[in-house]
């Protein structure tokens, strides 16, 4: 089975801190994604990566950056956390073939105080 | 831009009932449609994937149908159980890049014992 692992399930950070959310997939998938999920707003794409060192902005990239130095790992970085970034963050991956299933991690709950 | 709608937002049914969840989308030029389950505080688990050329997919007590021309998909759950209680989301993939994926906001299902 495909496994997408988000290393941190629950985090509490202070405003202004730098935050790293890590995601690892074990199926050699080309594409990886970071979403945030908020009540009433659904899932919104923050960033997407289609290959090592390659990235594209999603719908809400402001305040975030990403890093993909290895194919299996995709990191989301909050350079200076703010309270409006309190949310559930979901990582996902899929192969380079458009028709294939997209797999999600368990999610990371981030609270910024 | 593709819009995906799931109505109702919440549904309660007694155990054993058969039920249908709905997903509609505005642009019929889709590549595939995927149904997910999300338990509270968790990530998304893929249930069924229907390619644009298919009419339906089945897995156990679940059956998903797709009518691309009318912009509709349904997820049929037979003989519902309390363990089916969760939020169900649908997502449609457009034909562009791998990030061309649009989610509904989900239907929260409660199966009452």
- Which is nearest to B22 in space by CA: B61, B86, B80, B76? B76
Peptide linkage before A34 cis (omega within 30 of 0): no
> What is the model's pLDDT at position B98?
67
pLDDT at A101 over 90: no
> What are the pLDDT digits (tens) for B49-99?
999 999 999 999 999 999 999 999 999 999 999 999 999 999 999 866 767
> What is the model's pLDDT at position A100?
82
Half-sphere exposure for A94 (CA within 13 Å, toward CB): 20
pLDDT at A98 over 70: no
Least confident of A74-83, A88-97, B35-44: A88-97
For the sheet containing A19-25, what is the strand order?
A: A4-6, A19-25, A73-78, A64-70
Q: Is B70 on the interface with A (CB under 8 A)?
A: no
> A76: pLDDT confidence band, cut at 50, 70 and 90?
very high
Contacts of B93 in chain A (CB under 8 A): 98
Cα distance between residue A109 and residue B19, in whole Å: 31
Q: Kindly state the average pLDDT of the residues A45-74.
A: 95
> What is the model's pLDDT at position A95?
84
Q: Kindly state the average pLDDT of the residues A72-83.
A: 97
Q: Is B41 on the interface with A (CB under 8 A)?
A: yes
Contact A104, A4 (CB under 8 A): yes
Chain A, nearest residue to B48 by Cα: A101
Contact A72, A78 (CB under 8 A): no
Taking CA atoms, A42 is separated from B4, B9, B43, B104, in Å, by 11, 12, 13, 7
Q: Is A38 on the interface with B (CB under 8 A)?
A: no
> What are the pLDDT digits (tens) for A1-55?
668 999 889 999 999 999 999 999 999 999 999 999 998 888 999 999 999 999 9
> What is the model's pLDDT at position B100?
81
> What is the model's pLDDT at position A96?
72
Q: Given A41, A100, A104, which is nearest B43 (Cβ)?
A: A104
Q: Given B31, B43, B106, which is nearest A99 (Cβ)?
A: B31
């Amino acid at each position: 089975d495909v496994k997408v692992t988000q290393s941190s399930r629950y985090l509490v950070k202070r405003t202004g801190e730098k935050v790293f959310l890590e995601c690892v997939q074990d199926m050699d998938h080309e594409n990886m994604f970071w979403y945030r999920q908020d009540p009433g707003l659904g899932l919104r794409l923050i960033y997407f990566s289609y290959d090592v060192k390659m990235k594209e902005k999603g719908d809400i990239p402001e305040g975030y950056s990403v890093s993909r130095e290895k194919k299996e790992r995709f990191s989301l970085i909050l350079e200076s956390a703010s309270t409006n970034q309190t949310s559930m963050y979901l990582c996902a991956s899929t192969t380079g073939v458009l028709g294939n299933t997209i797999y999600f991690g368990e999610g990371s709950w981030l609270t910024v105080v | 831009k593709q819009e995906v709608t799931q109505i109702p937002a919440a549904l309660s049914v007694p155990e054993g009932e058969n039920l249908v969840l709905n997903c509609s989308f505005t642009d019929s030029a889709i590549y595939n449609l995927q149904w997910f389950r999300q338990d509270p505080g968790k990530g998304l688990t893929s249930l069924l994937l229907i390619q644009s050329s298919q009419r339906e997919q089945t897995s156990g007590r679940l059956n998903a149908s797709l009518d691309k021309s009318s912009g509709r998909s349904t997820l049929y759950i037979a003989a519902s159980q309390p363990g089916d209680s969760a939020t169900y989301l649908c997502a449609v993939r457009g034909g562009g890049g791998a990030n061309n994926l649009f989610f509904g906001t989900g239907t929260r299902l409660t199966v009452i014992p």
